Amino acid sequence: MRTLKLVFFFLCLSPISLTAQEFKLDADLRQRFEYRHGFGSLFPDDAEPAAFVRQRARLNFSYDAEALKLFVAFQDVSTWGDTRQILPSDGNDSFMLFQAWAELKLGTNWSTKLGRQVISYDDQRIFGGLDWAMQGRFHDAALLKYKKDGLMLDLGFAFSQQGEPFLGNVYDVPGYFTYKSLQYAYFKKSWEKSSLSILALNTGFQGFSDTDRTQPDGVYYTHTLGTYFSFPIQALAITGSAYYQFGDAYPMDQSLSAYQLALDAAYKTGKTTLGIGAELLSGSDQGSTDRRSFFPLYGTNHKFNGLMDYFYVGNHANSVGLNDLHASATFQTGEQSNLILAGHYFAANATLANDADSYLGTEIDLVYTQPLLKNVKLQLGYSHMFASESMSLIKGGTTADNTNNWGWAMLVINPELFKHSFKN
């Protein structure tokens, strides 16, 4: 709390020491109730469903001058009841610095952005902010940026270390696809209603020669190269992507060759938008030592392949991949309210054990959004997974016979608390 007060104090003093243009303070508060009965994986026999309320309280400070931008975001993420009452401190260490970056202009078209920041591009398949997760996703990185007349180029660099060691650079921080180093180039060309982008990403992971991770074995690298496009044909919006991964397969130093392909179309008629599409993510045959499994790394994976997070949300790495055929309908139920109905047909991309049927299951998702007042909205969701027997082959052998469903309700409050402009 002392740190928060100091940051606020110095930001308020910025107009005195700098020729500022604008200072803003806004909040993002969320409370989400969830009922989980087979969320993320199949519901086992003789188990009890889970229910809880997860919340986020975030404060965003921003300062914008002619050649300087500053942004700092603090947040507390917790579950109702996980901190005992009247404790003198938060025993769960739920308070954190979410973002803290500065962007400096370097001439007319160039700038650099340094610090803890969200990196998000295109449909967020490879890089995304993961806003559904209360904690979000950030990167400690440096960006060199170019932008002019519909052209955009970002060069990104990150190097991760544990503290300030006197010797060595071994990096052993737990986490899913936590990288030791990262370099990427992102290029995008935008026209009036369409765009085309290219991403080249190199991700380095700390290697170990033993399963207990006590013997460092250098750094090995996974490379991701691909493109994303978006263009309209009258009332039809078409988007698609194609990526290829090669190099070393996480978390083992083995040769990787994997791909992702996606194509989606959305048609708007009146107050209804209809969508259809497919995504193919390559996988490795069960029982094979070949590494053919694509993983979308640092994207907002919750928005793809069904909202129940059976695939690629902290799971399904180095597995049989996925073929996802999906369709959706969005109904405008009011001036700002809507109802989304989506369906997914899931199948394994690679061969299952004993040549089992590749069909994994069908998921139905419903999401309703209703604004309650300015800067406040209510969202309700329900999802149901109709799993096949083959689903149990990739979910640890858990039976597919039980009901698998998930329901949630979330209140989102994001007002602008303060805004002030200063003349030069």
User: At 253, is the secondary structure helix, strand, or coil?
Assistant: coil
Domain of residue 127, residue span: 34-83+92-421
Domain of residue 361, CATH code? 2.40.160.100
Q: Does any domain span residue 15?
A: no
Name beta bridge partners: 234: none
Q: Does the residue 400 lie in any domain?
A: yes
Give the model confidence (pLDDT) of 179-238 as tens digits.
999 999 999 999 999 999 999 999 999 988 877 777 888 899 999 999 999 999 999 999
Residue 409 near residue 51 (C-beta atoms within 8 A): no
Count of domains forming the chain: 1
In a domain, 18, yes or no: no
Cα distance between residue 126 and residue 138, in whole Å: 13
Below-70 pLDDT ranges, the chain: 1-20, 90-91, 424
Please report the pLDDT score of residue 175 as a whole number.
80
Q: In angstroms, what is the C-alpha Rg of the chain?
A: 23
Say if 378 falls within a structural domain: yes
pLDDT for the residue 217: 84
DSSP structure class, residue 385: E
- 10 domain-assigned: no
Question: Is residue 335, in this structure, part of any structural domain at all?
Answer: yes
Long-range contacts from 301-304, C-beta under 8 angstroms, 24+ separation: 301/128, 301/130, 302/130, 302/132, 302/133, 303/124, 303/128, 303/132, 304/125, 304/279
User: What predicted TM-score, i.e. pTM, was given to this entire model?
Assistant: 0.92
The confidence score (pLDDT) of residue 83 equals 86
Contact 309, 39 (CB under 8 A): yes
Give dist(CA 365, CA 385) in Å, integer: 9
pLDDT at 20: 55
